Amino acid sequence: MIFYTFKQVFCIIFYTFILSKVRKVDLSMLFDRIKEVADERGISISELSVKMGWSEKAIYAWKTSSPSLDKVKKIADYFGISIDRLADRDEYWRDYDKNLGEEKLASIRNKTDEASEAMELFAAHIDDDLTPEEMEDVIQYLEFIRSKHKNK
């Protein structure tokens, strides 16, 4: 069982729920960030995928589908970086500034701000002494909510 810190959980939530809900093309963003970091480290995506114990094409599939939380964490751990770095929120907003009108950009930022407030409220009501099993239950519940929104 993998134990996540509170910071990791909220970074994961931000990536998997907020970004994927705000825009459909987000799915390739994580792939692009992983590729960028892999290139910096001199490893190909196929090699990285095999080192993770997956098929050569597994990470390429993330261009069009969302990976599991465990897989994102495994990649971040391999590179010795945070999940937040893989999501690179600053890059996310820079891209939007280039490609969207101000009204659409303001709408997206508002939705993200509302989601951040919800995450802060959620965090305030979580006991600091959660066991790994209880934290796993929280993560599974959040994944369930995410899947409900995907099916709408």
How far apart are alpha carbons 52 and 74 in whole angstroms? 8
Query: pLDDT by residue (tens digit) across 57-85?
Result: 999 988 887 787 788 889 988 988 877 67
Q: Is the pTM higher than 0.75?
A: no
Per-residue pLDDT, averaged over 102-118, amounts to 65
How far apart are alpha carbons 41 and 33 in whole angstroms? 12
> Which of the four pLDDT bands, split at 50, 70 and 90, describes residue 23?
very low
Question: 6-150 in CATH: which number?
Answer: 1.10.260.40
